[in-house]
Each structure stands twice: as C-alpha cells, then as structure tokens.
Amino acid sequence: MNRLNKKQIITLVRIGISAALLISALLLKNETFRIGLYIASYLVIGYEVLIRSLKNIMHGDVFDENFLMSIATIGAFAIKEYPEAVAVMLFYETGEFFQEYAVEKSRRSITDLMDIRPDYANLLTDDKTITVKPETVRTGDMIIIKPGERVPLDGIVTKGKSALDMSSLTGESLPVDVKPDDTVLSGSINISGMLMLQVERPYNESTVARILELVENTSSKKAKTERIITRFSRFYTPIVVIFAMLLAVIPPLILGYPWRDWIYRALVFLVVSCPCALVLSVPLSFFCALGSASKNGILVKGGNYLEALAKTQAVVFDKTGTLTKGIFKVTAIHPEKLSSHDLLEIAAVAESYSDHPISKSLKEEYMEQIEKSRISEIKEIAGHGIKAVIDGKRVSVGNEKLMEMDAVKWHQCDLAGTIVHVAVDDEYMGHIIISDEIKKDAAQSVYNLKDIGITDITMLTGDSKSAAHHIAMQAGINNVAYSLLPHEKAEYVLKKLESIKGKGKLVFVGDGINDAPVLAGADIGVSMGLLGSQSAIEASDVVIMDDLPSKVPLLIRLSRKTLRIAKQNMAFAISIKLIVLTAGALGIASLWIAVFADVGVSVLAVLNAIRLLKKKV
C-alpha cells in the first residue's frame, strides 16, 4: 500500500467536508440555509478547479477540462439543480483522486524497476577507501563492495567471494556466486561477502547506465494505438463542446422547447467532454507492459515493438549462443592406434597457442599443464587447422580439408559436432568431437511458441549440417538453414520477411555476435544478454537480459495481452461516452451518470491497465 502524500490527504479531507455539507443540505428544510450549504460544499471541493479554470481561460484555453467542469457545474446552479451541481464537482474530484492514486501507483512500481542507479562507489586509494560518485571512477581503478551494497560499476573480482543478487537486472531471483576473475555487472547487489573489483569500463558505458538509458527512452516510441487515441482526443473535446452549445440554444430558440431542460442536456455533454479517460488508459497499458517485461528481465525499447510482437507470424533463432550455450566442450574422443589421453594431449599441445573456442575446449578437457617447449615449430592454416612439430614429430590437427591436404586417410564420424582430426607423421590417429550444449529451456521455448500458435520457427547457423540438425532436433525445430555466412543469414531473413509479408511480423533472436545486421533487418530484433556487443544492443529492439530463449514466447504472450487490454479500454471508454452522450441528448441521462462516464470509466480503465503489472504473464 502506498502512503498518501500531503496533497492527497488534503483532498481526502476536502472530499469528506464537502460530502458532509452536501448531506446536511439535503436534510435541511430552510430554503436559504440550504442554498448556503450547497454553495459552501461546492466551494470546498471545487475551489481548485475554479481557480485553475480562471487562469486558463485568461490564456484563451476554452477546451480546458477545469473550465468545462466549472461551466457545467455553474450552469447547473443557474438552472437551480443545486444537489447535482455539487455532486458533479464532488464526484469529479473523487474520481480524479482515485485516478491519480492508481496512476501514481503504477508509476511507482515502474520507476522502482529503474531504481538500480548506484549512488556511490568505494574507491580504493593508496592507503584508504574513499566514497566517490560512480561517474568519477576510471577504468582500472579498484573499488570495494561491502555486503548489502549495490555494485556501482562493471568489473572483475580481484579479491573476495560472494553471492550476487542480479534480480533487478535479469529478473532471476536465484543469487549468483562470484569468485576472483569473475565478471560482475553493475546494478547487482552484493549479498554476503566483501568484494574487491577492478573496474572494466567507465560508468556511462556500464551495464546500469545502459539499462537506464534504454528504459528511460522506451516511451518515446509510441504504439500506433497510442497515437490514434491521442489524435482522436484532439477532435473529441471541441466537437462535444460545440454540440453542447447547439443543444442548449437551438431547440429552445427555434422549436420553443423549455430552456431549462435543454441546458441540462448541454451540461451533460460538457461533463463528458473531457478526453482523459480515453487517452489515459492506452499509454498506461503499454507502459505497464513495458514495466512488466523489465521485471521479467526483458527490455523492450518501445510500445510500437509490443504492438508488432503481438502480430508475430514467424520466429527465427540463431543457433550458437541463442539456443545453445555458446560454450564448446569435448563430447567424445575416438582414438586409433593411441590412447584417448595421448590423442587429446597431442591435440591440446598443438592448439596451445590458439585462442579459438575450439582450442580452449581442448585445453580445458586435457586439464594438465602444457609444456610449450615441446613444440619446436608451429603454423596455423586459416580455415584448416594447425601444423606443428611436437617432440620432433610432424603433427596436423584440424578439419578434413587439412587431412586431404596432407593426403591422410581420415574417416567420417557419426556424431554431431565439430570434428577435430589428428594425424602424426601423415598417419591418421583419430578424431575428437567438440560440441556446443543446448540451453536448458530451448526445447521448452519452441514448445511454448507452438502452444501459442506460432508454428513457423526456423533455426539458422553457420555450422555444418550434422551439428545443426543435432541441435534442431533436440530443440524441436524442423526448419533449419545451415552453413550460412553472416551475410547469408541476413539474406535468409529478408527472404522470409518477403514471404510472410501482410500475414504478420518476423522476430529474429540472436546473441548479437556477427548478427547486428540481421537484428536490424527483422521486424523485431531480439538480442540475448547484456554482455552482447554494444552495437547489437543498439541494433536490436528487445534485449533479453538473462540469455533465456524461453523469454521469447513469454514476451509474445505479454504483448498480446497488452494489446487486448488497450483495445478493451479504448472500446469501453468510447462506447460508454457515446452511450451517455446519446442518452444525454435524448434527455434521459442525468448529470450523475455523466460524471460516472467521465471519471468512473477512467478509474476502471486504469485498474484494467494495471493488471499488466502482475508478475505472472
């Protein structure tokens, strides 16, 4: 429950006093006294609106809601509808109070999400630590993070062990353990131990600054629905006000109908003429949805993307780093003539100078210390592999092209993955299979997408046919395009876009490495992970912060729900207003109903929009 601020408490007191005065007026018999009480009740609740409308009318703003409400209530006084005059003002202010309260509440729950800005950093100087602003810390500086503090800048742990709460970044509530040499992202909270960090980048490039910038700018990209409703509101008020004037004047003047009756009908129009209920609910729906998405670790760069996501027809996944972990591991060793250990040893030693992910995985699997002095000669042949002289023997480690080059009698392997062949003195020694692991939730993501009716799912990869099919099968994707170069991925997506044109939107999900052009080319580009490159995050429309592909179906569901609620709100507000206007013109709607159509509807619409903030999508 939010605490009320001073202004809200005063408003509540005014509502109470005004209501009490109105009730006593209704009970009173003395006519003069009664009118006095009505006026007192009216002024207590309405003085703010009256003052504001006076100010605005001096600036020539006749379509101001305060002015219209003042005219409507003063008009009701003039035709001696005292209780209704007071009640309209009273309900108007009560409604505004609730509406403001609800809007404030959703504002706060969303700005809470943005509350990841670190206030200070403990900078380590020669002899002591000093508290400084994170903006002043430079790359390479050492900082200290005590338990309970927020990590102010991205960095690498140099000392200490701890668990980090990264929920405000990724939506994942499970703490993450860190130890020396691990990377720590700013915005996470240190839970248990003291950490010493070497700062990796300045504040304005840090994770926290990047997220805040994304979130603050999201609402500048408006959804089409939002723009339509704002445009509608520009015409709505003037038209209703003009109708009100015609209604008040023409029938009595021309047809001789009673003035009082028709002025009353015009007043109903004035009360309903405020566009707020209409306009408020739609952007609020989108904003709540953006808030809910970030709560789930998904940053959406604007309402327009949510609108597009709701129309998703096809989803294209990149393989490495998106459906798979992007971490290569030795999964099998098939030696010939040697032991497994010796085959792995030769490969690991030969690859010991390389930083390629494949080489790393070999070294990791071998685990033992590598004596580089054993290598007397080494040559890397791009796209083939490595030739080296180890312990005086000629060693070739690489793909089948390297084997062909040396005319080694190699043979195929049935297993999926990247195959590293090994030959010693041109004699085939066997091969090692290295493969990438599929992410835990990859199959679930595909299943969930199909479950919500999206069956056009494709996987793209630069890998070989067997590696591609192996992963696709595990993920449950039938449609696979393999051995693609980066520009071929972009071409594939363009062709796909062409083929579903008019039917719906295309979502591309990638890890941001090498696929920035593809991300930009798709209707909606989703990139994985905050650690992806800056250009990828800029090129994408949605960033999934915790690398989970299962956030894609979740986001599509959320976007559909958002559009549904926005449309419900719009239809509800417009139809209630039209019904009350028609009834008002026919003389069957009272001012009581009119004031409900104005503020009641807007409160209900706001409450409907707030449903989107619920954690569960």
Find the binder of another protein among 166, 169, 178, 279 (CB under 8 A). Answer: 279
Q: Which is nearer to another protein, 278 or 539 (CB)?
A: 278
Residues 215-234 that bind another protein (CB under 8 A): 216, 219-220, 226, 230, 233-234
Nearer to another protein, 61 or 377 (CB): 61
Beta strand 505-510 with 312-318 is: parallel
Report the Cα 529 to chain-centroid distance in Å. 13
Beta carbon of residue 86, minimum distance to another protein (angstroms, whole number): 22
Is residue 110 near another protein by the rule CB under 8 A? Answer: yes
Span between the terminal Cα atoms of the chain, in Å: 22
Give 581's Cβ-side CA count (13 Å radius): 21
Looking at residue 336, the DSSP 8-state letter turns out to be S
Q: Does 287 bind another protein (CB under 8 A)?
A: yes
Pairwise CA distance, residues 579 & 573, whole Å: 10
- Closest residue by Cα to residue 303 from 8, 36, 566, 1: 566
Contact region with another protein (CB under 8 A), list: 93-101, 121-129, 382-390, 481-489? 93-101
Verify binding: residue 209, another protein, rule CB under 8 A: no
Q: Which is nearer to another protein, 55 or 503 (CB)?
A: 55
Does 96 contact another protein by CB under 8 A?
A: yes
307 binds another protein (CB under 8 A): no
Query: How would you list the strands of the sheet with 385-390, edge to edge?
Result: 324-335, 427-438, 418-424, 393-398, 385-390, 375-381
Residue 92 Cβ vs another protein, minimum distance, rounded to whole Å = 12
- Answer yes or no whether residue 6 interacts with another protein by CB under 8 A: no
Buried/exposed 231-262: b ≥16 CB within 10 Å, e otherwise: eebeebbeebbebbeebbeebbeeeeeeeeeb
Instruction: Report the residue number, 456 or 598, with the smaller CB distance to another protein.
Output: 598
- Taking CB under 8 A as the rule, does residue 80 contact another protein? no
Q: How far is the CB of 110 from another protein (least distance, A)?
A: 7
Distance CA 86, CA 460 (A): 67
Q: What is the DSSP string of 516-568?
A: HHHHHHSSEEEEE-TTS-HHHHHH-SEEETT--TTHHHHHHHHHHHHHHHHHH
Cβ atoms within 10 Å, residue 470: 18
Amino acid at the residue 171: G
- 8 scored as a contact of another protein (CB under 8 A): no
Residue type, 9: I
Whichever of 10 and 485 has its CB closer to another protein, that residue is: 10
Rounded least distance, CB 69 to another protein, Å:
12
- Give the shortest CB-579-to-another protein separation in angstroms: 21
237-276 positions binding another protein, by CB under 8 A: 275-276
Please indicate whether residue 318 is annotated as part of the active site: yes
Is the Cβ of residue 158 or residue 219 nearer to another protein in the bound state? 219
- Sign (positive or negative) of CA dihedral 55, 58, 62, 67: positive
Residue written as tokens 């792995």? 344
Given 318, 463, 511, 547, the catalytic residue: 318
CB distance 153 to 210 below 8 Å: no
Cα–Cα dist 506/496, whole Å:
8
The DSSP letter of residue 146 is: -
Question: Toward another protein, which CB reaches closer, 280 or 333?
Answer: 280
Q: Mark the segment that binds another protein (CB under 8 A) among 212-220, 368-376, 468-476, 588-596.
A: 212-220
**In the complex, least distance from residue 503 CB atom to another protein, rounded to whole angstroms:** 32
Nearer to another protein, 48 or 342 (CB): 48
Query: Applying CB under 8 A, which part among 104-112, 312-320, 549-557, 568-576 lies near another protein?
Result: 104-112
Q: Could you give the string, one character per residue 46-75, with x where binding to another protein holds by CB under 8 A and - elsewhere?
A: ---------xx--x----------------
Mapping DSSP to helix (H, G, I), strand (E, B) and coil, where does residue 135 land? helix
- Identify which of 143, 147, 161 has the alpha carbon closest to the alpha carbon of residue 198: 143
Per rule CB under 8 A, count of chain residues that contact another protein: 26
Candidates 25-33, 260-268, 278-286, 400-408: pick the segment binding another protein (CB under 8 A).
278-286
Residues in touch with another protein (CB under 8 A): 55-56, 59, 96, 99-100, 106-107, 110-111, 216, 219-220, 226, 230, 233-234, 275-276, 278-280, 282-284, 287
Active site residues: 318
